[in-house]
Amino acid sequence: MEHNISVGLDIGTTKIVAMIGRKNEYGKVEILGIGKSKSLGVHRGVVNNITQTIQSIQLAIQEAETAASTKIKEVTVGIAGQHIRSLQHSDYITRANSEVVIDEDDIERLINQVHKLVMLPGEEIIHVLPQEFKIDGQGEIKEPIGMYGGRLEANFHVVVGQVSSIRNIGRCVKSAGLGLEGITLEPLASANAVLSQEEKEAGVALIDIGGGTTDLAIFRDGIIRHTAVIPFGGNVITEDIKEGCSIIEKQAELLKIKFGSAWPGENKDNEIVSIPGLRGRDPKEITLKNLSKIIHARVVEIIEQVYVEIKNYGHEEQKKKLIAGIVLTGGGSQLKHLKQLVEYITGMDTRIGYPNEHLAGESDNTITSPLFSTAVGLVMDGLLHQERRKEEEPVEEEAVLYENETISPSEAELENRANKLKSKPKKERRSFLDTLTERVKDFLDNAE
């Protein structure tokens, strides 16, 4: 596999997508191949049958490899599921010497302190995202590095999940013969793919309606402020149609996609769809008005739960207002008249999010469907990981030169080297997800 290629693996409740991409010369993401398979072993974003999940992953990977004619070794995988929850937490450290400027190590110490929070049994902190800092009581500081102070305080957005569920995903990926490049939270991946920087600054809620879960990510001032996973998605709508119309699941899914609408007033009373009966039974006649009433009831329930989360974040306070409104993405966002219904319930501006923000211009239309938002986001995340690693490597090489020096270098040469080192980008702080990836890898290696 080429070095500058990244593979995103979206393990969803209804489908598993493997997507291969790379950056082109304009810095846009070019999709080389895509593989899709029916997801059989996943329920509401959580693996409940390892063997079936491994088979589905292998099918998707093979299809992607054939499309891109390249071999896949490592993947960036997304985690979601009903076990993910988030909380707000503030913490502080007292610095030994307030005359020394605050640096990376102080922030690292503060973040590590948050990791010591006591969680419920089996839960572990996945993400610790600093919101804003306070130094000696002075608030609203975005970047404390380089400032002076004795007490460093910060508000954190903490994302928590079941560690066994994350390990199960790691086990599936490993058993499918793949390495773990990285683990990312799915709402964050989708957000990277469909939101613009302006929206993140102004304040926006991303709602990703998948098959088994609905993920929410709220941004404001360019920082993620709130995340939530609601354990309902497109599947419960299909389930309701199946029950309400007494038809089989396959027919219910087709009805939803072809004739479904979230707005009952849209259909006339006399519009009827005829569905073939099973094994010689009479065909069933279903009015589109009834169909949209069933869909409407469930969609309203999902949106209202999401809206409760948006209110919990504090959208109604003037300072926390989400000016850019709501962006809908994921397979469920393709339901007719959903945008209008969301605007009606929440009173917020709404648009459908397509993952074409960062894709190369000539990308295939199927790839820019909201269905693939998470997969595109995971590919972008993998490419970012690789860039960071490339940036870190040369710095270490330079440092080795000093150690192995036998002839003392000239002053001009030393200055030249110092300038070179200065111009190197500073080492990025490792996110906890990098450490989590390492730990899942270690755990799987030791569990053999």
Give me the average pLDDT of each 10-residue run along the chain (448 residues).
82 93 89 93 89 95 94 91 87 91 91 88 86 90 91 92 90 93 89 94 95 92 90 93 92 92 81 86 89 94 94 86 95 94 95 89 81 94 86 53 47 56 49 72 71
pLDDT attached to residue 235: 93
Q: Which of 245, 243, 202, 242 is nearest to 220 (CA)?
A: 202
d(CA 175, CA 50): 9
Pairwise CA distance, residues 382 & 1, whole Å: 14
d(CA 158, CA 153): 15
Q: How far apart are CA 55 and CA 61, in angstroms?
A: 10
Which pair of tokens denotes residue 365?
């239309």
**Which pLDDT does position 315 carry in this prediction?**
82
Q: Are 346 and 204 in contact (CB under 8 A)?
A: no
Helix (H) or strand (E) holding 305: helix 288-313
Q: Alpha helices, DSSP H only, in 314-410?
A: 338-346, 373-403
Quote helix, strand, coil % in the chain, to nearest 5: 40, 25, 30
User: What pLDDT was estimated at residue 395?
Assistant: 47
Cα distance between residue 355 and residue 371, in whole Å: 9
Q: How many residues does the chain have?
A: 448
Strand order in the sheet with 151-162: 85-94, 151-162, 123-135, 138-141
Rg of the chain in Å (alpha carbons): 25
Residue ranges per structural domain of the chain: 209-322
Q: At the topology level of CATH, where does 209-322 sit? A: Nucleotidyltransferase; domain 5 (3.30.420)
Q: Residue 62: what pLDDT? A: 96
Tally of CB atoms within 10 A around 86: 26
Structure-token pair, residue 219: 């941004």
Decide if 227 contacts 84 (C-beta within 8 A): yes
